[in-house]
Structure formats: structure tokens, C-alpha cells
Structure 1
Amino acid sequence: MLIYNFNKIISFHNLCGNYLNGILSSSSYNESMEGGIMKDYREKKYLEMLAEDEYIASEDIALRLDISGRTVRNELKELNKILETQGAKIISKPKFGYSIIVEDRLLYNEYMSNIKKVKHNNIPRTSKERVDFLMGYLLQLHSYVKIEDLCDMLYISKTSLSQDLRQVREQLDEYNLTLTSKPNYGIKVEGSEFNLRLCMANYAIDNEEVLQSDQLKCNRVECLKEIANILTSAFNTNNYSISDTAFQNLIIHIYTALRRVQDNNYVPMNEYLVSFIKEKDLNLAEEIIKKLEMAFHIDIPNNEIFYIAIHLAAKETIYQNKDNENIVIKDDINNIVTEMFKEVKETYKVDFFDDLELRMSLALHLIPFQVRMEYSMIAHNPIIKDIKTRATLAYNISVSACNVLEKIYKKTVSDSEIGYFAMHFNLALERKNKKVRKKNIIIVCSSGKGTAKLLSYRFKEEFDKFLNKVNTTDIINLKNMDFKDIDYVMTTVPISFPIPVPILEITCFLEDSELEKIEGFFKQNNNDSLLNYLDPNLYIINVDFNTKEEVLNYMVNKIKMIKPNIPENFYDAIMERERLSPTEFGNMVALPHPYKVITEDTFISLIILNKPIIWDKKKVQMVYLMSITNKEGRDLQYLYKVTSKLFTNKKYIKDLIQNKDYNMFCSYIKEIERSI
């Protein structure tokens, strides 16, 4: 049985890093909005509109401020309590409206003088704060608002407002919404009702201001509690599974829908969109709608059943053998997973084709994902930052896999969605990591084929869990060997020429005393040190650049000087990965790499700039460029694990940026590798 109670929602909200950002707290709401900028602004507007010898109707006030008549009456009642202590009072007269009477002119004038000053601390100070405020405010407006009024409200110039509105337009564009302007009227948000709701609800997840409404006849917390209870009851009855995060998300979407319905804004449905909804989701949505109508005493049109059903289809967590039913994965879904695996194998040389568990989990995840893509719905992922920093390889693999999805759906897959796929890939990588990757070795023996075969047999018998292929050769033929798929060389004779893999000298008959040494060798070399891949000449310091393009171009040219066999398209491959998703890591670090493996060897280059640059949106001063060998299965996760531990350690990064010392870098890497 599913249990979703409101206390659980609140505690999960805390765990997810303020996922609902206080929307479940009426006190935080009152402090941030009703005691903040909008109330102060409206208080000034009320006093400008009220005259001593004239009346103004509440409907006219409501129209000018774009709020309901009920809000006007309630706020004027509160304002009157203040005025009665400041030498004045508001009076009302049926059929005429409101007026003001001043009883103590000196006291009232002092009060009005103070009102004209900026006294409260809730005015947005930074551009980001203003953009957040403008998003919430503009999404609620039913009519146009003048630029001058917004400047007056925020106490900023038209130039500053124009810059803020540019960012607002970018955010609205993600939902196919536009900020239109009309001469002598101002600006307002326009777009489909479906997209408006998506934007309002998703914005409300992090900003409570957009939940501002007095149209539902209940306290906000009570409304949200009631919606949560209705959903819990319906889900338990119908065995519908949903994650905690999606459940909270759904509450906000339904709350937003109820507000819009109460304000006579409905979602039209067309046959194409409805065709993606299953009967079970429609039946569940209908049950929820009926309970909402009873709880909130409102009439909800039938079209809203489809709207709720879409959200149910997009948010359900589907498990294998749910309700003892066989989950049948359709061919089209299975084919998509196969294409994702192909892309990952080509890009990172990591093979997931034999991982049935991953195939099933991705297929089940794709079912609601398809709905979200069809309706351009955004899945909020509260732990995306942690995924990027703590599961870097899985995230990068997911970027590659989602490239397939973008081609299929012809839409951009959001960072949050990439993060959800990364969670599945990370589990699969962990399963791979628990398995010891078997090695390919060559035994070099100069005593003849008989001795070589005997050694080969002994190695297979003693070290089977470590070995994949065991080949034999002599010292002469070793020079012409292709070491592409070879991990180690075991030799009974000294090797005087260089070869690109580790060497261990052994006796012809493999004495018992050697067995422990050889096993230790296999264990020790199961993961190569990251330092093996960093040429000191590619540890670059004391340079200045202005853009990431300049940095990467310099690094690539430097690499080509050290490694002349680098492909011509190496720089382009790195920039293609930046196009798919910028590689800024946080903590002043960027981790660029080619969008797929294209080099014969694994290598690393690191550059520490004299001063930070803006990479995409974040400041970066350390750039760690890693290219992985195109040889399959080369301890990729280990390298990413070491990398992640290094660059999430703020002390390490601070020390390296300040000192720029290569030996310090090496000591930190060794310290991390000892701890893994």
C-alpha cells in the first residue's frame, strides 16, 4: 500500500534541498510575499487611487492592479487598520466604492512621506532575484503591465529592466511562451494554456510566489494537504506507483490547474495528444477529478481529465512484474534501448549489451519519458548537481545515450532527464565494477613451444579469475606484436627494447613462491594510476585566456606537439561534446573531452589559468582534458572515480589554483588512489 502523508512530503522536501522551497509553509509565504514587495507596492497604489472627496469602486481598483475584488477588499481592510494609527481611515459606501478621510493631517503626511521611501528589505537586489520575481509576477498577470510600472515597482532603470527581461524571455522560451509587448499597454506572457501551466507549476517548485492566489477557498497549506490526501487515496485504490519527487511535483501541477480552472482558463485537447493516453490513466484521472470537485466545490470540465491523465502517464514509476502482470516491452522501445547501447559503445567503448537489468530499467523508464517528450514536459531532478559531480562517467554516458533520443524525438533532452538516465547507467557501472576485468597476457619464453604451453596451462589453472586470453611468443616475434588488446607481458627472459605494457619477469617452471607475487601483480595493476596518463609537459600553468575556445585550442595544439598521432578532428570532437552539454563541473573546474573515443591512447592534460573565465555559465580556472583510448574496457570508471574525488575536494582545488604545483597534484592523486 502506498502511503503519502503531508509530514512525509515536508520532510522529503528538506532532504531534497528545499525542493518545494517553502511552498508548504504558510508563514514563509506570508513573510516573502504578503509582507514583501507586492504588498508594499500595492499599498502605495491603493493610497494613490484613494481620494478624500471622491469614491472609487473596488472593481476599478481590481482591474488596475490585475487582482480579484476579494483581494482588494481584504487588503483595504488590512490597510485601514494601519491608517487608523496614522491619522486617517478608509470608508466604503455601497454603489460608490471607497474613499479616505484624514483626521490628523500632520501624522498622515509623515506616514505618506515614509511610504514613498524604500524601507523594506524584500526588494530584489540582484539580477537573478529580479528575474525570479518577474517570472512569478508576469505569469500571474491576466493583462498587460507597463514597463514604467515595473521599473517603479523594482526601483530600477529601464536599461536594467531590459537586461532582466531578456533572461525572462529565455526562460519562457523553454516552454514555448513569449513575452509580447503592445504600444501604450505594456508587456504580458502569451502561449498555450498547457504550456502556461507547465511553466507556472515548474517555476512554483522553486519559487512560492507563483502559488499566490486567493481564488481557491482554502488556505494554501490546507489546499495542498487536501490534494495530497486525494492523490494518496486514489493511488492506493488503483495500485499506482510514483516517486516522492514526482508526487510532490504532481501536487503543484494539480494546484496550479485548479487555480486556472477557477479563473476560467482551460486546456483544450486534440485527438493527437489524447491518443497517447491509456484508459487506466484516464480512469484514474476521472476519479481524482471527482474527488477534487467535491473537496473544493468547483466544476471541472471533462478536458481537465485528459490534462491530469497526461501527468499521471508522465510521472508513473513502472516496475517489473507490477501487480503480478507481465510487463511487455514493445519493439519500438526495445529498439531505442539498443540504439542507446550502440551509441554508448561507439562513444565510450563501454558494452552494456549483455546487461538485461539495465535494458529493462531503461525500457521501463522510457515509457513515461515518451509522454513527457510528446507534451514537452520538464521532469524536475533535485539531485542533478550531485549526479554530475559524483557519477561523472554515468552522466557523460547518459549525455551520449540521450543524443539518440534527441534525434528520435527531435527535441532537446533536459539536464534533469539526462540525470535520471545517468542513475540507471551508474547502477550498471557499479555492477560492472564489482566484476574483475579479466586481462589479456602474452607469455614470452625462449625455451621452446613445450615450455611455453606448460606455462600457459599453469597460468590458466592458477589465475583463471584474472585472465581472459593467454598467448605465447618468443623474444624475436615480440617486437612485431600488436599490443592493442594486450594488458601485460610475462617473460622468462629480459626484454631490452621498450613495449607499451607492464612487464613481469618469471621463471620457466613458475615456482610456488612466485604465485603470490604474480597474484599481487594482477591485483595491483587492476587499476592503473591516473598519473600514468598525465605527461608532465601537458601540465600547463601561468597562462591567460578569455574564452573556453581559446583555452581548448591552446591545449589541443600543445597535445599535438607531444602526441603527433592525435586525429585532425580532435578539437572539433571536444567542441561537439560542449555543444551537447557544457562540461563545467563546478568548484572552478571544467572537464572537457571528445564526444566519443577517438584516440589510440588514454591521456590527460591539465591547465591552471592565472585568472578564471566564464566557461558557459560558471567560472572556471582549472581545465582537465581527458581523452580515453579506443581500446575497449580500459578501467574507465576507475579514472572517473579518481577524477571526481579530486575535483569535488574544495581544499585540493584551492591549493592547486593557488600553488599551481605539479608535485602537489601528484601527491593528491596518490592520496585519493590509496583511499579507493
Structure 2
Amino acid sequence: MERRLWEIIDELSESEFKTSASLGEVLGASEKTIRTRIKELNEEIRMHGAEVYSKPRYGYYLRINEPGVWMDFLNSRGKEELRTPTDSKERTHYLLVLFLSRKDYIKIEELSSFLYVSTKTLSNELKKVEYILNRFHIELERKPYYGIRAIGKEFNMRICILHNQLMNTNPFFEVRKEKEKEIELIGEALLHLSKEYGVRFAETAFQNTVIYIYISISRMKKGFYIPKEALKVEESDKRELLIAERIYTKLKEVETFEITKEEIYYTGIYIAGKSHMGDINTKPNFVISEKTDKLVSQMLEEIYLTYNVELRDDLNLRMMLNQHLIPMEIRIKYNIPFEYFVEDELKEKNFFSYTMAQQAGVVLEKAYNKNIADDEIACLALYFQLAMEEKKTSFKRKNNILLVCISGKASSQMLMYRFRQEFGEYINTIKVCGMYDFEQCDLSDVDFIFSTVPIYSKVTVPIMEIKDFLESNEIMAVRRFLQVGDFRFLQNYYQPKYFFTDIHKSTKEEILHEMCLRIKKVTEVPDNFEASILERESFGPTDFGNLVAIPHPCQILTKETIVAVAVLNEEVLWSSHMVRVVILTSLSEEKTEDTQKFYDVTTKFLMDKSTVMQLLELPDFNHFIKLLCEVGIKK
């Protein structure tokens, strides 16, 4: 029973009359509203052993006809009562429930009186409600003298209810305890049938599907049905439709509701959008459609043209993306949310993979003519991150190293043995020399020098000092040193002529314009260079926290690789974060093994807040390169 009716029960007495005027004064409602609510209340409580008795000129009092039945009803109050909205967030969710659970209009004045807020406050709450509803293609319709109501497709309304139930721990969306058996029955049926038909769910997707079916049945019982329409059943959707039909058939044995072919169809659509086909290696009948594979090719081509990262020949990635796009297309077409709850964490830890996914999302938006949700982008980023990790694993550089020891053949042989044991997968050859023989050593084929003593001679080979017996805390640093390789490759990307510390602008557009002007003074860039960068900014944010942004053109435009860095004196709002370091990247078409290492090291810098702060404290090019090298060696 609704909270407003419980409030009247609280104010009524079993021994004395109360007038509608006195009740209205206490409850903040008009006498007419009180009389209407008492009529509704009587319809609710007569079946529970009580009634509101009225007497002209006296008022109302509560008459208990069956005390035992009435007490049972009162004891159920904790389960049924909707808690009074006490703040803006709760009122927003209450209004969502109200609009999604009725077809008729309701007047602003009635809502204001009912929620005990002014019409101005209510107007602000309605703006928030309208924003949420619009995300699910539901509108608030306002009609003079009638009021306001929600209009939209029934399927979208169910998705809206489900999404808000998942995303907010709010009493207005909680599932009633007495319905747990029904939910359990749905879950058992879905689990059995999904196994029978070979349909697999992630845990969260399975739970969401169960709740969607529960919401659908609840709505049907109240007369909210998906309207009749021409349905086109795809061959690939038939097993999901069979699952839906058999679940409803099972539930009709214990529930009373009418089922239509439209209800079966849309439930099957929801199941198809939330399920996946499992491991492609165990599904010999998985057939890639020409349309889907073409879309995957366009995504990988877009990534190559934008970032010069070659993933087009990665068969495993292509197969995973083809498989993922099948349910994703259904979700996009029918506006089914994809709840990927590690989106923020993935942005932080895999910045570059996320930006690649954003660029791939541009292709999908053009293909489907719809915006791609952040959660969908985050899931695509995971596939790209896996592919990038596999590329790094498959290519392990073999290095020629020189060990420099102070003295003692035995100790140097022991150190060489330790290097072979710990880092053999990264080593091609090892040479050992003493401190006094170092000047005569041929370093022409040496990639790295590891020394137990300081080396004062000027050499072009990277040097790392270590202890005589390679202590345990040094092992990870050495391994990372060998994995990343020679940091001299950074010189091909970061150059002093593109390092700016004197840009004094207050907006993103002004900063990018100034950086482009300065780049043009140094090297040749196409006329659409700045426009392409701004176009990329319109696709999605290039700032992900830590005061850093990494803008870039939509595609490869420059003959040479350009990486321009601007360290700003003041914070500037970029897209959604404040920024003080701007790393504008424009890669050339030249293929190099260092591209992945460049993104790896740069991403580590972007995500390391303490390192960014060190650059802000000393905005110097050489200091910046030193910080990049230090953060690159970190695990």
C-alpha cells in the first residue's frame, strides 16, 4: 500500500472523529485530496478487517471489524510501505516509479502536495527525471489542464526500471521479499533452458535477465503489454525465443497472466542481447557473417590509420570481436544497457586501449547511427588490451649484455649464471669484463651494460648499476629494463622543439590552436591538421584524470611523427577533467617496433600522478625525459 495512505491511518483514531480539514492541515493536503485518499484507503483495508467510517459534520474514524486480520495487515507494513522521499535523490526515484507505473496524467499541484515540496523544487526534480527517461527514449508529455505523464515504448520502460534497479540501492526499486519465490522459479527455469540450448551468460547478465522477466510479468499483470506489431524473427534468434516461450509456459502454471507473441519476442531479444556464445574454439558451428566481419575490419583499419598499431592480422582478436558484436548489435538496436562495472578502472589502467576502443566506436556509431555507451566502449577496450598484451608476449627481444665486475672471476661467473637463470628469455649473449678492462671492450654489439661499479667513461650504451650478487629487489627492475629496451627510442618521439612551457590560454580550443600554430612553424602539416584534432575531441574525451590530456588527429596525417608537449601554468577544464599537461600526438605511417613501447611508456606516465606532479614542479624537457625513463622501468 502507498505511503500516503499509511499516513492517513497514522492520523485516524479508533475512538474519536477527525475532520478532513484537520487531517489536511496535518498532512499538508486539501480537504478534497483527503476525501479522495480516504476513498482509496477504504478500498485497500476492507479486505484486511477494517474500514474508515464517516459521519456528516463529524468526520472520520477507524473502525476495526476483524482485529486478528487487521493486526496481520499492520505487521506486514514493514514489507509493503514505501519510505517517504526525504531528499532530492529519493524524490527523483520515486517520481520515476510513479511515471513508469501509470498511464494517466497527474497534475503538478498534486505531486507538489503529495511530496511536500514547492512547485519550483518539483520542477527541478522533474528535469532530473526527464534526463533519466530520455536516456531510454521515454518522454514526459505535458498537457494543459491534464498534467504530466511518461510516454514511450513499453520495452524501453522495462529497461529503464531494470537499469535503475541495478544502478541504485533505493527502496522504491527493491524487489519485495514475498516475490523471491517467483524470482527463484524464473532463475531455475532460465538456468535449465540456457544449458539445454547452449546459451551462456556472464553472472551479472544472468541476474539481469531473471529480473527483466520478473518485471515483464509484473507489468503484464497490471495491463502493461508490448503492443502488437509486425515481427521479423532472425534465424539466429530462434533458440532465445524458444527459451522465452518455455519460461513463460512454466510460469503460467503458478501465475495468472496472458502471454502474447510480442512478449515472447522481446524477451527473446533481451536474452540474445545479454547472452554470449561461449568459447569460439569449442563452437565449431560459429559462423562469421560477412556484414559483421566487414565492420570488424573497418574498426581495426580505423585503429591502424589513427594510431599506427597493427591489429588487422590478429585472427584471434577478429574472432573475439565478431563474436562480441552479435549480442552488442542487439543491445544497440533495442537500447539494452550493458552493465560493465569496471569501466572507470579500465580507463585508468589501460588508457591507450580505451582510446583505441573510442576510435573503433566511431565506426560503430556510423554503422548503427546511434551513440555507443561508455560501458560498451570499456568492454571493447578489454579485447584490445588483451591483443596488445599478446603482441608484447609474442615478441621478446633478445639482448646482448655486458657485465662489468670489480674483480674475481668466480664472483663474475656467479653473476653471469644468475642473469642466465633469471633473464634467459631476454638474453642473446652475455660478456663479462673487469673494471680495469672496460676501456678496451668492444661495445659495438652490446645493448645493455650492467655494472657492479660506477662507470665514468662516456658511452652510448645504457648502463644500470647493480649489487655484486643481484639482490631480490633489483630483479624486477632489471627485467623491466630488458623488456622495455633502450629508452633512446624516446628521442624519435619527444623532441625539445615540441616542448612548450609558455602557452597561456584558458580553453581547450585555444590551447590546441596555439600548439598547432607552433608545430606549423617547425614542420609541415596538412591544412586539416587542427580540424582533425578537434573532430577527434568531439568523439569522446582525451582526458582521463591526473591533470593530463592526450589529443590527436582522427587519422595519420603527418609525414613525420610529432609529439608536442605543453606544460600549462594554470589548470584548464578539458572535457571532464582539469588539465595542466597536454601531450599532442601525431604518428607517421612509418612502421616501427617502438610504437607500442612509446604508448606503453607514455601511458605509464599519464597514469602516475606523482610523476606528473614532478614534471609540474620542474617543467624542463630533460627532466621530462628522465621521468619517462624512470616510470617506464617501474612494474
The alignment's TM-score, normalised by the length of structure 1, stands at: 0.67
**Structure-2 separation of matches of 1:62 and 1:542:** 69
Structure 1: 5+ residue runs without aligned partners? Answer: 1-33, 81-89, 103-119, 440-464, 468-510
2:386 maps to a residue whose letter is L
Give the equivalent residue in structure 2 for 1:376.
335
Structure 2: 5+ residue runs without aligned partners? Answer: 24-31, 64-82, 399-425, 429-439, 450-460, 463-481
Change (3 A) 1:156 1:93: closer
Displacement after TM superposition at 1:588 (Å) = 3.9
Q: CA RMSD in A?
A: 4.5
Higher alpha-carbon deviation: 528-537 or 254-263: 528-537
| SS of aligned partner of 2:602 | helix
Give the equivalent residue in structure 1 for 2:372.
413
Higher alpha-carbon deviation: 44-53 or 279-288: 44-53
Give the equivalent residue in structure 2 for 1:305.
264
Identity between Structure 1 and Structure 2 (%):
28
Give the equivalent residue in structure 1 for 2:627.
668
Match of 2:139 among 175, 178, 192: 178
1:392 is the counterpart of 2:319: no
Give the equivalent residue in structure 2 for 1:346.
305
Higher alpha-carbon deviation: 367-376 or 189-198: 367-376
| SS of aligned partner of 1:411 | coil
| SS of aligned partner of 1:596 | coil
Change (3 A) 1:643 1:46: farther
Change (3 A) 1:335 1:260: same
| SS of aligned partner of 2:190 | helix
**Structure-2 separation of matches of 1:671 and 1:533:** 17
Mapped contact 2:12–2:61 kept (Cα < 8 A): no
1:436 is the counterpart of 2:399: no
Displacement after TM superposition at 1:192 (Å) = 0.9
Change (3 A) 1:514 1:634: closer
Match of 2:87 among 116, 119, 124: 124
**Structure-2 separation of matches of 1:371 and 1:593:** 31
Give the equivalent residue in structure 1 for 2:220.
261
Give the equivalent residue in structure 2 for 1:193.
154
Displacement after TM superposition at 1:101 (Å) = 6.8
Displacement after TM superposition at 1:100 (Å) = 4.0
1:280 is the counterpart of 2:239: yes
Displacement after TM superposition at 1:667 (Å) = 4.5
**Structure-1 separation of matches of 2:9 and 2:244:** 43
Mapped contact 2:94–2:172 kept (Cα < 8 A): no
**Structure-2 separation of matches of 1:662 and 1:514:** 28
Any idea what the Cα deviations from partners look like across 1:253-277, whole Å, max 9, x if unmatched? Answer: 2232122112111113533444476
Mapped contact 1:599–1:628 kept (Cα < 8 A): yes
Mapped contact 1:344–1:350 kept (Cα < 8 A): yes
1:616 is the counterpart of 2:545: no
**Structure-2 separation of matches of 1:266 and 1:173:** 21
Mapped contact 2:502–2:568 kept (Cα < 8 A): yes
| SS of aligned partner of 2:141 | strand
1:52 is the counterpart of 2:18: yes
Give the equivalent residue in structure 2 for 1:635.
594
Mapped contact 1:144–1:188 kept (Cα < 8 A): yes
Change (3 A) 1:122 1:646: farther
Displacement after TM superposition at 1:335 (Å) = 2.3
**Structure-2 separation of matches of 1:527 and 1:644:** 15
Number of residue-to-residue matches in the alignment: 533
**Structure-2 separation of matches of 1:302 and 1:63:** 43
Give the equivalent residue in structure 1 for 2:402.
none
Match of 1:252 among 199, 204, 211: 211
Give the equivalent residue in structure 1 for 2:163.
202
1:317 maps to a residue whose letter is H
1:623 maps to a residue whose letter is V
2:206 maps to a residue whose letter is F
Displacement after TM superposition at 1:173 (Å) = 2.5
Mapped contact 1:527–1:635 kept (Cα < 8 A): no
| SS of aligned partner of 2:285 | coil
Match of 1:554 among 506, 514, 532: 514
**Structure-2 separation of matches of 1:164 and 1:530:** 52
2:294 maps to a residue whose letter is N
2:105 maps to a residue whose letter is Y
1:359 maps to a residue whose letter is R
Higher alpha-carbon deviation: 221-230 or 181-190: 221-230
Mapped contact 1:529–1:673 kept (Cα < 8 A): no
1:403 is the counterpart of 2:362: yes
Mapped contact 1:541–1:608 kept (Cα < 8 A): yes
**Structure-2 separation of matches of 1:275 and 1:66:** 52
Give the equivalent residue in structure 2 for 1:449.
none
**Structure-2 separation of matches of 1:147 and 1:266:** 27
Mapped contact 1:136–1:210 kept (Cα < 8 A): no
Give the equivalent residue in structure 2 for 1:231.
190
**Structure-1 separation of matches of 2:190 and 2:565:** 52
Displacement after TM superposition at 1:361 (Å) = 1.0
Change (3 A) 1:167 1:121: closer
Mapped contact 1:587–1:653 kept (Cα < 8 A): yes
Any idea what the Cα deviations from partners look like across 1:454-510, whole Å, max 9, x if unmatched? Answer: xxxxxxxxxxx999xxxxxxxxxxxxxxxxxxxxxxxxxxxxxxxxxxxxxxxxxxx
Matched ranges for 1:405-554 at <5 A: 405-436=364-395, 514=443, 517-518=446-447, 525=485, 530=490, 533-536=493-496, 538-541=498-501, 545-554=505-514
| SS of aligned partner of 1:584 | coil
| SS of aligned partner of 2:201 | coil
Change (3 A) 1:552 1:170: farther
Displacement after TM superposition at 1:203 (Å) = 2.2
Displacement after TM superposition at 1:330 (Å) = 2.2
Displacement after TM superposition at 1:585 (Å) = 0.8
**Structure-2 separation of matches of 1:354 and 1:63:** 74
**Structure-2 separation of matches of 1:306 and 1:359:** 30
Displacement after TM superposition at 1:615 (Å) = 3.0
Higher alpha-carbon deviation: 628-637 or 565-574: 628-637
Change (3 A) 1:323 1:595: closer
Mapped contact 2:305–2:556 kept (Cα < 8 A): yes
The alignment's TM-score, normalised by the length of structure 2, stands at: 0.71
Change (3 A) 1:410 1:384: same
1:517 maps to a residue whose letter is V
Give the equivalent residue in structure 2 for 1:581.
540
